[in-house]
Structure 1
Amino acid sequence: MDKNQQAIQLMKEQKYEEAAQLFNDIIETDPENPVGYVNFGNLLLHINDTERAERFYHRAIELDSEAATAYYGLGNLYYEKQDFSNAQQNFLKAIEIGLEEADVFYLLGMTFFHQEEYKLAIPYLMRAAELAPKDTEFLFQYGMSLAQSEHINDAKPVFENVLKLDGNHSDAHYNLGVIALYEEDLEGALNQFNQALEIQPEHLLAKNAKEQIMQVWNNSDM
C-alpha cells in the first residue's frame, strides 16, 4: 500500500490529522504531482474546509489541466454550496476529459434537477443508472427526472425497477401511486400510497394523497 492509499484509508477511518500529515508529506516529496493536491483537497472538503480545498484543487489543475478528479472535486465543492452553475461546469469538464464514473454523471444530473431543468437532467441520470444499476438512488432520481418531464410512461418502469431492488422504497411507491392517479386508477393509487405509509407512516405526501382518494370515494357514496 503506497502513501496515498494509506492516507485515503486513514480518511475512511476518520483519522483526519494523520491523513493530512501523510498527504502533506506526499506533496513535499513530489510537489509537481497533482494527485497529492487532489487527495488533500478531498480531505479538506470532507472536513468542510472548502476555502483551502478549492485552492488545492486549483493547484492540481495548474499542474495538470487534464486532472479530471480535480474538476470533479471542484464540482463537489460547488454542489455542496448549491452553486449549481459552477458545479455543472466542473462536472462537465471532468467528463469531457474522460472521467467515466456513475457519481459524476449523477451529480451533474442533479445540478440540473435542483434548478428544475428536468429534461436536461435525464441523460446524465440515465447514464449514472447505467453505470451503477444496483444503486437505487441513481435509479430513483432518473425516474423522477422522467416524471417531472412528463414522460410518465417511461418513469413507471423505472420506479418499478427501484422496488425490485428495494421493496421498502416508500418514495417509489408514492410516485407509482401518483402515476396510477394520472392513469385514473384510484384503487391502484390507494394500494401504492398504503404501501408507502406501511413503510413510512409519516410520509406526508402519501398520507395527503390517500385522504384525497378517500374523500372522493366518500363523496361518491353520498
Structure 2
Amino acid sequence: KATQLAPDNAAYHNELGVALGRLNIYTEAVEALSRAVALQPHYPEALNNLGMVYLQMDDPIKAEEWLQKAVRFKPDYAKGYLNLGIVYSRQGENDRAIKVLKKTLEIDPNLIPAYYLYGTTLFQKGNYQEAGEAFRKIIDLSPGFAPAYIRLGEISIRLGEYDDAVKLLEKAIGLAPREATTYDLLGQACMAREEYNKAANAFLWALDLEPNNALYNLHAGELFLKQDQFRQAGSALTRASELDPKNPRIFLLLGRLHQKIREPERAEEFFQKAIELNPDGKIGLEAEAALKETRGETRPEDTGEGGRTEHFYETILREIGVDGADKESKR
C-alpha cells in the first residue's frame, strides 16, 4: 500500500480514507483521514472528507465540526461550504443551509450542485420565485440537466401554472426518460387540466418504473376514482395503504370509493381510520364530514386537495457524482 511505503504522506492517507468511505468501511476511513489530519492539521480536503464520513455515519455534529475546520483553514473552499449546506439541509436547518450555500455560490458561481441544493432548500421553504431562479441558472449553465426542469415543473404545479408544468416535465422526460418522479408530476399537472387519459398514462409510467411507491399508487387511485373506474381505483389505493398505512388521505379516498359503490359499512370503516390518523387536521375533518354524510347526517363536500410529491435531491446529487469527497491532495 502507498500508506505503508510512505506512512508520513498525508495525501495518501486522505485518498485511502475517501476510498474506504465509498466502500462504507467507516471506522477504517475515519482512521485514515484522522491520520492525514494528524500529519497536516490544516489540510482542508482531509478535514472535509472526515466530516463527510461522519455524515455518512449519521453523526451531523461531528460532520459539522470537521467541515467548519475545513472552511476556516481554507476560506475560499466552495466544496466545504457546499457540504456544510448538505449537513444543515439534512438536519432541517434550512436558514443555515441557505446562508452557507449563498457563500458557496459567491466563491464559485458556476457550481451546479450548490445551485440545485440552494433551489431545493428554498423550494422547501415555499420561496418558489427564488427557487425557480436557481433552477433556471442551472439550465443556463447546463441545458441538459433534467432535475432542474423537474423542479421547475413542480414549482409550476404549486403555482397552478399547469400548462408550463407540462412543457417543463415533458422536456425533463426527453432528457431523462426513466425518472419516475417526472411522470408522477406530469400526471398531476394533466389531471389538474382534466386531461385524464394523458394523466393515466403518466401515472402508469411512474408505477411501471416504481411499482412500490405509495404516493404514485395514491395519485393513480385518485385519478381512477375521478373517472369512476372503481376496480382500478380500489387496486391502486389498497396497494397504497399497504405501502403507507399511516397516510390518512389514502383511507379518505378508500372511504370515498366505497361510498360511491354503495358499501356504507366499508366506507365508514375507512373514514374512521382517516380520522384516527389525522384527528385535528384537514383530512381528518373532511373524513368526519364524509362519515356523517355516509350516515345521512349531512350533504357531500369535495375538497379536491392533491397529494404532495417527495423530493430526493440527495439521490440526484449522488447520481451526478457529488458525494462530498475531495481527493485533491497536498504533497
**3-state SS of the aligned residue for 1:41?**
helix
Q: So what's the TM-score if we normalise by structure 2?
A: 0.55
Deviations 1:109-157 (A, max 9, x none): 2111112212222233334445554443332122111221233332222
Q: How has the CA–CA distance of structure 1 residues 55 and 159 changed in structure 2, closer, same or farther, with 3 Å as cutoff?
A: closer
Structure 2 counterpart of 1:68, from 93, 97, 112: 112
Contact 1:162 1:172 in 2 (8 A): no
Aligned-partner Cα distance in 1 for 2:49–2:163: 39
Q: CA RMSD in A?
A: 2.8
Aligned-partner Cα distance in 2 for 1:48–1:173: 30
Q: So what's the TM-score if we normalise by structure 1?
A: 0.77
What residue number does 1:218 align with? Answer: none
Aligned-partner Cα distance in 2 for 1:122–1:152: 13
- After superposition, residues 72-221 of structure 1 pair within 5 angstroms as 72-98=116-142, 100-129=144-173, 133-168=177-212, 169-178=216-225, 181=227, 186=228, 189-199=229-239, 200=241, 202-214=250-262
Contact 2:220 2:233 in 1 (8 A): yes
Instruction: Letter of the 1:177 partner, please give it.
Output: F
* Structure 2: runs of 5 or more not aligned: 1-17, 19-44, 243-249, 264-331
Give, in angstroms, the shift of residue 196 of structure 1: 2.8
Aligned-partner Cα distance in 1 for 2:55–2:121: 18
Q: How has the CA–CA distance of structure 1 residues 191 and 84 changed in structure 2, closer, same or farther, with 3 Å as cutoff?
A: same
* Structure 1: runs of 5 or more not aligned: 216-222
Aligned-partner Cα distance in 1 for 2:80–2:232: 50
Aligned-partner Cα distance in 2 for 1:55–1:173: 39
Contact 1:129 1:142 in 2 (8 A): no
The structure, 1 or 2, with the larger RCO (C-alpha pairs under 8 Å, 6+ apart) is 2
Give, in angstroms, the shift of residue 208 of structure 1: 1.0
Give, in angstroms, the shift of residue 5 of structure 1: 4.5
Instruction: Letter of the 2:193 partner, please give it.
Output: S
What residue number does 1:22 align with? Answer: 66
Aligned-partner Cα distance in 2 for 1:12–1:99: 31
Instruction: Letter of the 1:205 partner, please give it.
Output: L
Matched, 1:7 2:55: no
Larger Rg: 2
Contact 1:173 1:195 in 2 (8 A): no
Structure with more helix by fraction: 1
Give, in angstroms, the shift of residue 16 of structure 1: 0.9
Q: How has the CA–CA distance of structure 1 residues 163 and 37 changed in structure 2, closer, same or farther, with 3 Å as cutoff?
A: closer
Q: How has the CA–CA distance of structure 1 residues 48 and 203 changed in structure 2, closer, same or farther, with 3 Å as cutoff?
A: same
Give, in angstroms, the shift of residue 173 of structure 1: 3.7
Instruction: Letter of the 2:114 partner, please give it.
Output: A
Q: What percentage of aligned pairs have identical amino acids?
A: 22
Deviations 1:166-202 (A, max 9, x none): 44553244145146x2xxxx5xx01112213432285
Contact 1:69 1:99 in 2 (8 A): no
